[in-house]
Amino acid sequence: MMKIEHNHGINIKEDDKNVILDPSKQVKNGVVTHGHLDHLVKDSYMTPPTLDILGVRKGEKRGKRILYGFPHDVGGFEVTLYPAGHVFGSAMAKVEDVLYTGDFNPYGGKTCKRAVPYDCSTLIVESTYGKPEYDLPPKDEVIEDLLAWTKQQIEEGPVIMGAYQFGKAQEIIALLNEEGIKPYTPNSIAKISEVYNSYDIGLEYEVWNGKAKEDNYALVVPPGELRRPVGEMMREVRKEGGSSTYLSGWCAIYPFYKSMDLDAQFPLSDHAGFQELLDFVDRCDPEKVYTVHGSAEEFAGSIETKLGIDAEALC
């Protein structure tokens, strides 16, 4: 019988077969779903972009590639990866009849295909926004508001935008490019963006060298730049009377603009919000659900009461 437990990652065993999804350390037969730092572990199986991101972020490109949609033997199990819509290269993993979402977003983005539900007997679903009060507004509306605000502010002067340096920052660059804006960005974000461009994503940006060539420009920076004590780029934009914003799903819940003294914030998320999580579970039509990360206990409770499916928190 198949056994699923949390042990150095999501550990799936059956007879002598074994796979560890999102392992917390280097293991045999690990599968890494995406390139956020808390997930990046060497010598596991992952998509080619995730392996390249590993090389940039950890300095050593060691791992085994699996392409989306092609079944692969991992520890005796047949494992297939599918787009997760979370960040470039992110994957959901199907281990025979078990689907693990990893971090996922059903809307996807400019740089990653959306996550679609698959029929499965057991679903292991992330629950970052697993509380009913963690409902997120529709992504297209958030993007519309963000771009309208940016285009208005950039008429007046520089705009600085704080976003996580892998995933969110590149989404912002892609969105700005569509509006004809080529933003500046520090080397930390540019290095990761180069991986995107090696796959012909075509992100256009200029590496920040302390000064912009024009008066009205956009600057995409890691969130730390906006927090006190603010960084050199934030100081420069403030000196020029520019405006500032922070982009994160948590902006739907917390007023960061107050504590960080920003002009605006937008709830742009690369995760599913509460209602999207529930819809996804419903459409996978599983017999059993395990919830992982964030509000795992609360979300398991909601799945049982709202969908009538047996659910429990795994970690």
Q: Which residues have a Cβ under 8 Å from the Cβ of 17 and sit 6 or more positions away?
A: 75, 76, 77
Closest CA to 24 of 213, 33, 243: 33
Site for Zn ion in 131-190 (CB under 5 A): none
Instruction: Give the end-to-end CA distance of the chain in Å, rounded to a whole number.
Output: 21
Which residue in this structure is represented by tokens 């771009």? 147
Number of CB atoms found within 10 A of residue 200's CB: 6
We find the least distance from the C-beta atom of residue 207 to Zn ion, in angstroms, to be 25
Identify which of residues 38 and 73 has a Cβ nearer to Zn ion in the complex.
38
Closest CA to 23 of 36, 35, 11: 11
Report if residue 103 touches Zn ion, rule: CB under 5 A.
yes
Span interacting with Zn ion, options 30-38, 144-152, 153-161, 302-310, rule CB under 5 A = 30-38
Identify which of residues 53 and 233 has a Cβ nearer to Zn ion in the complex.
53
Task: Give the interface size with Zn ion as a residue count (CB under 5 A).
Answer: 2
We find the least distance from the C-beta atom of residue 33 to Zn ion, in angstroms, to be 8
Q: Is 188 exposed, middle or buried, given 0-12, 13-18 or 19+ CB atoms closer than 10 A?
A: middle
Residue 55-74 contact track with Zn ion, rule CB under 5 A, x = bound: --------------------
Identify which of residues 103 and 225 has a Cβ nearer to Zn ion in the complex.
103
Identify which of residues 96 and 126 has a Cβ nearer to Zn ion in the complex.
126
Residues 72 and 81: their CA atoms lie apart, in Å, by 9
Residues that bind Zn ion (CB under 5 A): 36, 103
